[in-house]
Chains A and B, each alone.
Chain A
Amino acid sequence: MNNAVECRSLTRSFKGNAKQQAIIALDNIDLDVREGELFGLLGPNGAGKTTLIKILATLLLPSSGKVTVLGYDVEREAHKIRPRINMVSGGEFSGYGLLTVRENLWMFSQFYGIPTRIAKQRIDELLHDFELADKADAKVRTISTGQRQRMNVVRGFVTDPDLIFLDEPTLGLDVNSSRTIRDYIRRWVREQNGKTALITTHYMMEAEELCDRVAIIDRGRILACDSPCNLKKQVQRDAVFTLETTQFADLDSIGHISGVKGYTGETNGERQKIRIVAEEESVLAEVIQVIAGKGGKVISLTKVESTLEDVFLQLVGRGLI
């Protein structure tokens, strides 16, 4: 099977300003995305996800390394890549507010040379699939943020790309809109041959339920890359707990206990909810001791099934968001 994307020793840095040193957004990355795959990039803010997508979308050059998209080199053969890709970013405000939803979508399709008749037909179908048909003739500046976001996703699919980049496509959307978008992406990849989607997200659930494979990326490095199921197996050996405690002084101290691989904390009124990935169950004794030492009291303790979030906790050492 062919690879839709291949990165070899890809590094991308940005010049810092006078005081700052250069930022290394991508650090010596090797990555393959197979044709026909729904691939997820999961990582915290600033991890380098958008930078990677921009390079793949021919908008940014690598500082070093070799990158091919659909078999073509991103530096020298961008013109062969462009007709076959598209990209949608969460929260983008593209297009012209004066135009209607349908007109905007038509305009963008023209940049790919799609005959108007075909474009119009696809637009109508997609607007229907994304539950936007009743907004087709509304001016873009009058539609809501979520409707706009769905329109953007439609824009990405109108050109019938072979490879689509979706940079946080469900950013800030309600449950229903997110599901509509996820369902469409899944069907789009599954029901056609050789269509590839690369999606970035902050939402663990999204990556877990949607993607064939996920790469976990942090500080410009890929920490793991496998199917959600295999990734979870990695942590199965570990003990994952959730603790509910009263408020106490210093949550960070948990991270310093040896044997704790990662944790997240969430304050809920008087209560503190903590999720811990530990090497073994015996570490728990010390955890409880440390909490007591800081003036906290453990209210409940549960051992849980590991999720993708725990993989992330273990690898990155801190939670997302």
Chain B
Amino acid sequence: MIDWRLNLRAVIGRAYPRVIGSFREPSWLFFDIFLPLLGIAAFAFYYQALGAPSVFIGFVILGGAMTAYWLNVLWSMAAQFYWEKEVGNLQLYLMAPMSRMSVLAGMALGGIFFTSVRALSTLALGLLIFGIEIEITSPISLLVVFFLTLFALYGMGMMFSSLYLLYGRGVWHLSSVFQEPIYFVSGFYFPVKALGFWVSLLASIVPITLGLDAMRQLIFAGQETMGFLPVSVEIVVLILLAVVFIYGARVALNFMENLGKREGRLTLRWQ
């Protein structure tokens, strides 16, 4: 039986340090907004030089803003438990009566908040600086797609963090290995369709690919032809991804926790 009140408190408790963290470290804020803007500017000038329509720059700004979520999932979700184990938090989490999923959910919610501050600032500044006009055809669909993307993306992060639970420092390398190719393949800086059907399909395993694709179609009216799949299809796939990843996280976490309790690896430090 699940004690909802306890677990709700646990989720909020775990999200708290991340929410507070986004205000206590203003210097990060600067780097986290400024650096993506630099990346965006590089592509924007490139597209301008090529004489591409301004909507392309809009694509880049949206992609650049969403990058923040991808980095957050890689470094503060997937690799998180390794760090928590090192400082001794993990054993305290596992010893507490809350559901393990509450820890993950708290981490995800906190991460989403923390990152949204950055992503929205990047988006607003980018659109302002480059004077891009947006025309949102359906705000509701846009919100649905946005939240579904985050759900699925952080679901993936939850699953990875469970799978990484027992790994040592190797986690760091794994996250770095993932970081760059996904940048490219998920079409942060160009429509993913440009990579061809099969690559796009493969890239769609990372929820941000379809999420970005759908959001671009919804934010820049008249650009549906640049989309990889119709928005409605992308919404269905995103729902599926979210369910699969979150369920997968639960199974993986259970499995890893039991394995760890048997092998004595949950609390080992400096391995």
A79 to B94, CA, bound (A): 11
Select B20's contact among A57, A87, A103, beta carbons within 8 Å. A103
| CB proximity to B under 8 Å, residues A177-234 | none
Listed stretches B30-38, B53-61, B84-92, B133-141; interface member: B84-92
A60 to B6, CA, bound (A): 24
| CB proximity to A under 8 Å, residues B15-41 | 16-17, 20-21, 24-25
Select B95's contact among A14, A58, A107, A109, beta carbons within 8 Å. A58
Contact A82 B95 (CB under 8 A): yes
Listed stretches A88-96, A284-292, A296-304; interface member: A88-96
Contact A60 B264 (CB under 8 A): yes
Residues of chain B with a CB closer than 8 A to A108's CB: 13, 92, 96
Residues of chain A with a CB closer than 8 A to B96's CB: 82, 108, 111-112
Residues of chain A with a CB closer than 8 A to B9's CB: 110-111, 113-115
Contact B16 A107 (CB under 8 A): yes
Chain A residue at minimum C-beta to C-beta distance from B99: A79
Contact B261 A60 (CB under 8 A): yes
Point out which of B3, B14, B17 has the most chain A C-beta atoms below 10 A from its C-beta: B17
- Residue B263 CB within 8 A of the other chain: yes
One digit per residue, 1 when the CB lies within 8 angstroms of any chain A CB and 0 when it does not, for chain B 76-108 equals 000000000001110111111110000000000
Residues of chain A with a CB closer than 8 A to B119's CB: none
- Residue A172 CB within 8 A of the other chain: no
Chain A residue at minimum C-beta to C-beta distance from B98: A111
Chain B: residues with Cβ within 8 Å of the partner, total of 32
Contact B10 A113 (CB under 8 A): yes
Residues of chain B with a CB closer than 8 A to A54's CB: 91, 264, 267
Chain B residue at minimum C-beta to C-beta distance from A85: B95
- Residue B127 CB within 8 A of the other chain: no
- Residue A257 CB within 8 A of the other chain: no
Known A54-B267, A107-B14, A110-B12; contact A61-B261, beta-carbon cutoff 8 A? yes
- Residue A106 CB within 8 A of the other chain: yes
Known A93-B88, A113-B9; contact A107-B17, beta-carbon cutoff 8 A? yes
Residues of chain A with a CB closer than 8 A to B95's CB: 57-59, 82, 85-87
Point out which of A60, A103, A111, A114 has the most chain B C-beta atoms below 10 A from its C-beta: A111
Residues of chain A with a CB closer than 8 A to B24's CB: 98
Chain B residue at minimum C-beta to C-beta distance from A156: B92
Chain B residue at minimum C-beta to C-beta distance from A51: B264
A95 to B91, CA, bound (A): 12
Apart from A58-B95, A59-B261, A111-B92, 10 more pairs, CB < 8 Å = A59-B91, A61-B262, A85-B95, A86-B95, A93-B88, A98-B24, A103-B16, A108-B92, A110-B10, A114-B9
The interface of chain A, by Cβ under 8 A from chain B, is: 14-15, 54, 57-61, 79, 82-83, 85-87, 89, 92-96, 98-99, 103, 106-115
The interface of chain B, by Cβ under 8 A from chain A, is: 3, 5-7, 9-10, 12-14, 16-17, 20-21, 24-25, 87-89, 91-98, 261-264, 266-267
